[in-house]
Amino acid sequence: MGLRKDLILLFLLSAFATKSIATSFAPTDNYLIDCGANEASNHSDGRLFESDSRSPLVSLSPPSNTVVTSTTSAGLYKTARVFAAQSTYAFPIRRSGRHWLRLHFHAVDSLRYDLKSATFSVSADGFVLLSELSVGASSIVYNEYLIDAHARLSLIFTPSDGSIAFVNAIEVVSVPDTLFPTIARSALQTCYRINVGGQFLDSNNDSLSRVWVPDQPFIINAASARSVSIAPNSIKYGTNGTSPDVAPVWVYSTAQEMADANVGNPKFNVSWSFDVEPRFDYLVRLHFCDIISKSSNTLVFDAYINGQSVLTSFDILSKTEQLKTAYFADFFVHAPSIHSDKILIQVGPPELSKFAPNAILNGLEILKLSDTDDRLDKPNRDPASAFDNAHSSKKLKLLVLVVASCLGGLALMGSAVLACMVHLRRRRRLLKDHPKKNPSPPTWLPLPTHVGNSKTTKLSASHSLAASSRPSLNLGHAFTISELRDATKCFDEGLILGVGGFGKVYKGVLDNGLTVAVKRGNPRSRQGLAEFHAEIETLSKLRHRHLVSLIGYCQEQNEMILVYEYMARGPLRKHIYASEISENDVEPLTWRQRLAVCIGAAKGLHYLHTGASETVIHRDVKTTNILLDEGLVAKVADFGLSKLGPTLDQTHVSTAVKGSFGYLDPEYFRRQQLTEKSDVYSFGVVLMEVLCARPAINPGLPREQVNIAEWAMRWQKRGQLERIIDPKLVGRVCKESLRKFGETAEKCLAEYRVDRPSMGDVLWNLEYALQLQESFERRGVCEAGGSTNGIWDLDEWVLAQGERSDCSSVVGGGGSDVETSSRVFSQLIDPKGSIAFVVCRGGGFLD
């Protein structure tokens, strides 16, 4: 009761400040429509809603005079426009971009129509917003969407067979460009908007007329949290992209922190649970403001989404630079990471910290993304429900008969399968004792039938690592699970080389002494059988010095395991960032070595595009998929997402977007048209990553620096690329070599594929850049002329580091929050990753 009084007092003290904030954004398009009303009506927040029949710009086709007026409701819900057939509202858009689309439904009483039993669908510009909606006896249904609208927004209402559709009010309002990240062709729906630790905020308290609800219904253990608050007029908005349009001061002035557990070392999390539809991806925005600290470096905590660490040892003050300053972080949560129809948000103290254990959260938002079918809602097609609603005993009897027949058939089929399994088990034992030549391939694998002539159960090193550019149909060795358990010491966690979307990769040693890399599929990952087959099928046909060789596979006991040649030096990424190099590893690569590595990777990709019998598009080119052997020879790896390229009569392959965020070809992202030039774009990002020694996406940086491709190209176009290079390269790079390298990367990163070079052209330019560098190192001059010096402009470079926000220090060790997030920047649109988060902190959006 005391907290409620304090909050009311804070509201009264800050009323004037809030009212001024609420007018910070003036929308270009601002359609507020009271459907079916005879005249304009005032909303409780002071906004004026026009009548749809009197608005000079909004049109309804076909014209409808069907209106229902309630005798009990008031305001926006006094009238409703009713449609007996498909009807369309058209809103002219004066300013292209994101718009709020808010729909109000209330089944008002009517003698003519039964709105409570109405069933209908709603779509907007091709996106299905509501499918077979039935408002029923609910008091009010209010849905909010974010739609990218251009020229005209068409809102279509479609009644179900024999039913009607209706709507009480519609809002179409422009949204600030910087409010949310651009996500290709996607619409979003607001699922939750929570004022953590605070009270209900209506549209009168928000500059964008949003509604914020308290967090009490969603917190799992109320005793674990304690509400805190300060005066709203003390909240500041920094230069990190936050503004009152992101969230009002009311949200940042209240929070939940860890409650006093009366124990010496509390190690619990404050948790919130939200019901969601697991078939969709979600944007989760967390709002932070340090309103509890008295000084700097006293509040450090972790944050989790569905058990996955997304912020580690997070210090709000390190981002805002002052207390009581607003900050937010965005995460994309993919459908495979959502279990039990829930999204779980948690904050808690880090494992190791010198500070008093505490954690804080001020607000959060959860928005659903449209799926690949442009849907935000899916109809209920449960056959059991259909029979229940039919009230027909005849149909029920028929259902029982069909189910019984199916069960009988399944029982017979199960018996047959069991018999086959017993037979195959006996046959396998016989084959193990008496192996035959040319054994048949596994029945699950739709690949060529030739498996090779190996008679032994062991694979020799010379056979497995033979390198050739000639395509091969050899699928490799079929390992048993026991062999791989022995090789990896029962998949010892201490032998893990890395973790990806498919699963963990272990170092193993076969019986013959050959060291291998064993990639074990995670059964919870949706990168499963399709990717498993794709990897085998692709690599079985390819042999090249700069492609990682597949040695064999295993599929038994529900395991999916791939065995590769061991790459002793690991991924290229490891050799770029100094903070990720341990004492026993080599130093970060020199410029000459980096060029050689890029050339090796380019050769591998060039072979994929032109040297194989069919064009192969890798689709996931990044620094973690370029591996180095003991001699620093680069080899392209991970073909789980690869796809055959277009045939002679095609210009592209139409396919769903898959790949890693930050490396995705924007044209492929927008149009879902894949070509080998998509690999070229991704490789351009790799080139910039190699040069600048920072991740493709770094959410810890200011907004304009988050995306390395955009940031580096701004410097390239100024002719000052040397100002953002890896500090360890300063003074060691020939300017002409760097110029050629920068020009090559710029061409790779062209917006449209027609403007990008082939991988062969990229390879030629990189080899030329290497020649220039080698000449510089031998003679101190660049043979192409121009500057004869390396890049020694240290003073200018030091100044430029202010714009980098200490790029080199935010990657890697120390348990930073960026380290954790960088490991999960994968599978943005692809629903195959185990979980993928895109983190855009402080307004750092990824266009």
pLDDT along the chain (847 residues), means of 10: 37 36 73 93 87 92 87 84 95 93 92 90 95 86 94 95 94 92 83 96 91 94 91 87 91 93 68 92 95 86 89 89 92 77 91 80 96 80 37 43 54 58 50 37 27 27 27 57 89 84 83 87 58 66 82 79 88 75 61 95 92 82 92 88 74 75 86 89 95 88 87 92 90 92 95 92 94 85 46 36 32 32 32 34 33
- Give me 158's structure tokens: 């479609």
**pLDDT given at position 90:** 96
CATH 2.60.120.430: which residues of the chain?
26-175, 189-369
Q: Which residues are annotated as a binding site for ATP?
A: 519
**pLDDT given at position 146:** 96
Q: How far apart are CA 635 and CA 413, in angstroms?
A: 46
CATH 1.10.510.10: which residues of the chain?
570-811
Q: How far apart are CA 337 and CA 827, in angstroms?
A: 12
Indicate the SS3 state at residue 290: coil
Q: How far apart are CA 763 and CA 17, in angstroms?
A: 59
- Give me 431's structure tokens: 């084959």
- Token look-up 């037979």 returns 423
Contact 378, 390 (CB under 8 A): no
**pLDDT given at position 42:** 85
Q: How far apart are CA 758 and CA 765, in angstroms?
A: 11
Catalytic (active-site) positions: 620
Indicate the SS3 state at residue 361: strand
Contact 195, 254 (CB under 8 A): yes
**pLDDT given at position 465:** 26
Kindly report the CATH class assigned to 427-566.
Answer: alpha beta
**pLDDT given at position 439:** 32
- Token look-up 């790459």 returns 567
Give the HSE-up count for residue 802: Cα atoms under 13 Å, Cβ half-sphere. Answer: 4
Listing DSSP states for 506-568 in one string gives EEEE-TTS-EEEEEEEPTTSS--HHHHHHHHHHHHT---TTBPPEEEEE--TT--EEEEE--T
Backbone angles phi, psi at 652, to 5 degrees: -160, 170
H or E stretch covering 384: helix 383-390
Contact 448, 537 (CB under 8 A): no
CATH 3.30.200.20: which residues of the chain?
427-566
Kindly report the CATH class assigned to 189-369.
Answer: mainly beta
- Give me 254's structure tokens: 């209240």
Q: How far apart are CA 148 and CA 847, in angstroms?
A: 13
Contact 700, 817 (CB under 8 A): yes
In the CATH hierarchy, which fold is given to the domain comprising 570-811?
A: Transferase(Phosphotransferase); domain 1 (1.10.510)
Backbone angles phi, psi at 530, to 5 degrees: -60, -45
Q: What CATH homologous superfamily does 26-175 map to?
A: Galactose-binding lectin (2.60.120.430)
- The crossing angle, in degrees rounded to 10, of helices 735-748 and 591-606 is 30
> What is the chain's Cα-based Rg?
30
Strands (E), 566-679: 570-571, 616-617, 626-628, 634-636, 643-644, 653-654, 673-674
Q: How far apart are CA 328 and CA 344, in angstroms?
A: 18
| Number of C-beta neighbours around residue 400 at 10 A | 11
Which pTM was predicted? 0.49
- Token look-up 């630790």 returns 197
